[in-house]
Amino acid sequence: MSDTQRLAVGDPAPAFTLPDAQGKPVSLADYAGRKVIVYFYPAASTPGCTKQACDFRDNLADLAESGIDVIGISQDEPAKLAKFADAEGLDFPLLSDPEKTVLTQWGAFGEKKLYGKVVTGVIRSTFLVDEQGTIALAQYNVRATGHVAKLRRDLALD
């Protein structure tokens, strides 16, 4: 498998502006001075991605209480993101990156193993960007189930 350029703790978080589920532009710069979890997922309304998004939804109040916002990014079009958000009651921004530009910049698109085969696609990844716009946590190839609980432990929120 070839190495996709990956971000590491201490790297500056690559800037982005992407449309949300309503087509409104959302920028990483909108979160300057706050901590934000940026997570990348393969596809809205699939079982694993739904589980992960609902876990973030269910932990959103606790994360916000700790001063952490959440943004989800996939290659889905805004209309599909809107349907996903409505169906699952997701009340945090879901951003659309159909050209995979931001996914690639963050190392969340490239070769991965899927059912024992090497394929090219979205690498389920999660990052914590600190108040200064620096990567404070970088996790690649995360599991959808139990990920938010592990993240809370990693960030010492429990």
Backbone phi, then psi, for 8, in 5-degree steps?
-130, 165
| Tokens 């990052």 sit on residue | 127
Q: Which of 7, 26, 49, 142 is catalytic?
A: 49
CB 142 within 8 A of CB 51: no
Active site residue 49: yes
In whole angstroms, what is the distance from residue 46 CA to residue 39 CA? Answer: 16
CA end-to-end span of the chain, whole Å? 36
Residue 84: CB atoms within 10 A of its CB come to 22
Q: Between vectors from CA 25 to CA 20 and to CA 28, what angle results, nearest 5°?
A: 95
**Which among 50, 39, 71 has a CA at the least distance from the CA of 137?**
39
- Tokens encoding 68: 């952490």
Catalytic residue positions, numbered: 49
